[in-house]
Amino acid sequence: MQTFVTGGTGFVGGALVRKLIKTGHSVRALVRTGANTRQLDGLPVEKIPGNLSDLESLHKGTAGCDWVFHVAALYSYWGYPWEDFNNSNVEGTRHVLQAAQEAGVKRIVYTSSIAVLGIPDDGSPGTEETPVTLSDMVGYYKRSKFLAEKVADEFAQDGAPVIIVNPAAPVGIGDHKPTATGKMVLDYLKGKMPAYVDTKLTIVDVDDVAEGHLLAATKGQIGERYILGGEILNLKEILDIMAEISGRPKVRYRIPVWLAYLWAYLDITLAHIIPRYVPMATPEKVRISRRGEAFDSSKAVRELGFPQNPARDALQKAIEWYQENGYVTI
């Protein structure tokens, strides 16, 4: 089966490309000029030069395809204006879905995010049906992904075979950049996390997220969305698991909210003063952490057969991969 993947040079997209090849699919991948292609190196992938605003490259990539996976997105909480997020995440999604619809593909899987989902006031995990509005979105990234999902909804209502997946916090093999979750793992391993904030995360193996994309393409209902998450843990539990795996000391001190905000404002002040300095914390991240990111994957498990492997296994794979690839010495 012929497939086209955007975002194949990224963490989730790279895992998806490997999963598609392993299961016998032919893969084309959109590759931006100057992009690091190490996720694709050595794999039998047809690379399509272009970007999300280049309609010619998108038509070339989607032509003759059975499935299209739109994974690419600008993911950052610092350093980009709204125009970049809108052009990449909102209009880029519109362009990919338009090209896929015109190509007559059988299934389009759009990779959204748990960032766009609602969080219940009672502290229980959010689901696909938890009420949420644009005003709930903190920061440009979340706002743009919320609007991009609305674009995907519109295409589905117009008859395009779109299924939406909302990955949680993926960890595992191949997080080269690394992502925000991978940076958390690396910061702990390097002793750069002397304290923690009181928050929750939904940890999922990136290979399971890739599997979830294939399951969505084969079993998902058009117009529906599915949370691809795993085990819900508070940050202290995650750090303790990493301590057991790595043998490094446990992080014992919790940062109160007021101190987290103070640190964040000081950090972004440094970013404004020091060229190319990227803040570890921002006020947006603190606001997000206060509510946590706990989400229920029951729908994906029930309707897709989405796997629920332990968070510990995913964290161990990530730690071992970072060690084997020279990111850290334990």
Domain around 298: 2-174+203-230+294-310
Instruction: Determine, yes or no, domain membership for 248.
Output: no
Domain count of the fold of the chain: 1
Evaluate whether 303 touches 209 at the Cβ level (below 8 Å).
no
pLDDT of residue 236: 97
Residue 240 is assigned to a structural domain of this protein: no
State the residue for tokens 């007021």: 258
Residue 63 lies in a domain: yes
Amino acid at 289: S
Q: What six digits make up the tokens of 143?
A: 């706002």
> What element of type H or E holds 67?
strand 67-70
In a domain, 249, yes or no: no
DSSP secondary structure, 255-294, as one string: PPHHHHHHHHHHHHHHHHHSTT---S--HHHHHHHHH---
User: What is the C-alpha separation between 90 and 112, in angstroms, rounded?
Assistant: 11
CATH number at residue 141: 3.40.50.720
Residue 255 included in any domain: no
Per-residue pLDDT 10s for the chain (330 aa) are 999 999 999 999 999 999 999 999 999 999 998 888 999 999 999 999 999 999 999 999 999 999 999 999 999 888 899 999 999 999 999 999 999 999 999 999 999 999 999 999 888 999 999 999 999 998 999 999 999 999 999 999 999 999 999 999 999 999 999 998 999 999 999 999 999 999 999 999 999 999 999 999 999 999 999 999 999 999 999 999 999 999 999 999 999 988 888 888 888 888 888 888 878 778 888 777 878 899 999 999 999 999 999 999 999 999 999 999 999 887
Is 283 inside a domain boundary? no
Instruction: State both tokens at 83.
Output: 């125009």
pTM for this one? 0.95
Q: Which two tokens stand for residue 123?
A: 């502290």
Q: Please list the alpha-helical segments (H only) found in 40-80.
A: 55-62
Residue 256 within a domain? no
Tell me the helix, strand and coil percentages in the chain, rounded to 5. Answer: 45, 15, 40
